[in-house]
Structure 1
Amino acid sequence: MTESWTAPRVFTELDHDRTARRGYPEAIFCQGKTVEQLESIAAEMRARAAVTLFTRVEPDQAVAIARVLPGARHDPVARMVVWPPDPPAPTGGRIVVVTAGTTDLPVAQEAWTTASYLGRSCELVSDVGVAGLHRVLGHLELLRAARVVVVVAGMDGALPSVVAGLISAPVVAVPTSVGYGAAFGGLAPLLSMLNSCAPGVSVVNIDNGYGAGHLAAQIAAPFP
């Protein structure tokens, strides 16, 4: 006789103290979670009226979250759902998010959305890779006015070094998995960025727009 087996009901322990402890709200990584799990998580966040960022959201997951959190904003490019839908009034310094190519936009928009909902003023500059250097030079005034610049690039990953050599603010470099075979799913730009000869470049993991946006928001926080 085979005994019946029931999956455990407890599947998550949310970090409700994160805002008080670190000054930034909870984030829910949705990849691999079921719709039912996300509905349960969303209901718990709603009961606490807690600001929440849902990252790496698939369309069916976004629909499920919106059922529990009416008005939640879904950004399908960034693959994020944010609740409440309106970001807080920005404080601190300006963040500029830059992409080398249009295909880097999902990661860049994840960084932009994250930083915006963590309370920073953000601007996005897209498709200014080093294959046409005049494009990034055309935004030099904006870049030099930023407290921190997030640079998102795949392929050879050269853009963060170029930007860091032109400005005084720190650069957060984000390698993406965009590129032909020898880019090895983002490994080539990751290594290029880690080996940058320009000082002041910090590198996050491949496609980690959320991590880049969070780090930039901390760097650009208001001075105490």
Structure 2
Amino acid sequence: MPDFDLDLDRTARRGYPEAIFCQGKTAAQVAAIAAEVRSRPDVVTLFTRVRSEHVTAVLSQLPDAHHDEPAALMAWPPSPPPPTGGPVLVLAAGTSDLPVAREALLTARYLGRSADLTADVGVAGLHRILSRLDQIRAAHAIVVAAGMDGALPSVVAGLVEAPVVAVPTSVGYGAAFGGLAPLLSMLNACAPGVAVVNIDNGYGAGHLAAQITAPRR
């Protein structure tokens, strides 16, 4: 018996597929999971937190799988489904936040949303976010990835109608405590309409944004 039990019917139950969290899994375990996934090309599968050995393992079973190295994410089938629902915009406060932001971006895309990413719009230069108001106000949900003081989600939420999904990153100097400082800042956002996911959880942020912008049934 394998030491995993894939939930391949999750899409039928709740509209979104299971993702494979690879951190802590061996290459052999990931290869076995990828082999089972191969039998269901109708189900989008994301492999998150992949390391080099996981990439090799997945490609041994799914040679055309898409790999985004900065996001530490793989996807199969390699092409996202045609987008439906409202657009998602992902904002990265700084270039250092891009790995988490890209994980959110690709998650939203592979869950069927139109999604774009804009980087380097942190609060250290407010003119940068203000110059993009038309773009951010066109989005139906906004993911904001920020470390350091984590102030950007509150600023964005005060400027737009759409809900904001805040994802703290573990970027910052010592007093950022590996993302705890921005997490607390985001939880204490004075602007309403901010939902907060866990530190570095780009997948969770992208998933929530995809659910928010899903087509109405």
For this structure pair, what is the TM-score category when the shorter chain's length is used for normalisation? over 0.9
Give distance in 1, aligned partners of 2:119 and 2:45.
27
Give distance in 2, aligned partners of 1:211 and 1:202.
11
Contact 1:95–1:122 (8 Å) recurs in 2: yes
Shift of 1:10: 2.9
Aligned to 2:119: 126
- Residue 201 of structure 2 is aligned to residue 208 of structure 1: yes
Number of residues paired by the alignment? 216
Shift of 1:184: 0.4
Give distance in 2, aligned partners of 1:103 and 1:128.
12
Aligned to 1:40: 32
Aligned to 1:72: 65
Give distance in 1, aligned partners of 2:154 and 2:209.
17
Aligned to 2:191: 198
Gaps of 5+ in 2: none
AA matched with 2:190: C
Gaps of 5+ in 1: 1-8
Give distance in 1, aligned partners of 2:40 and 2:213.
28
CA root-mean-square deviation:
0.7
- Residue 212 of structure 2 is aligned to residue 219 of structure 1: yes
Contact 1:59–1:76 (8 Å) recurs in 2: no
Shift of 1:48: 2.5
* Residues 21-48 of structure 1: CA deviation (Å, up to 9, x unaligned): 0111120000011111011000001022
Identity over aligned residues, as a percent? 69
Taking structure 1 as the reference length, the TM-score comes to 0.95
Taking structure 2 as the reference length, the TM-score comes to 0.98
Structure 1 residue matching 2:38: 3-state secondary structure: helix
Give distance in 1, aligned partners of 2:3 and 2:111.
27
Larger radius of gyration: 1
Give distance in 1, aligned partners of 2:29 and 2:59.
14
Shift of 1:92: 0.3
Aligned to 1:6: none
Aligned to 1:81: 74
Give distance in 2, aligned partners of 1:81 and 1:99.
20
Aligned to 1:182: 175
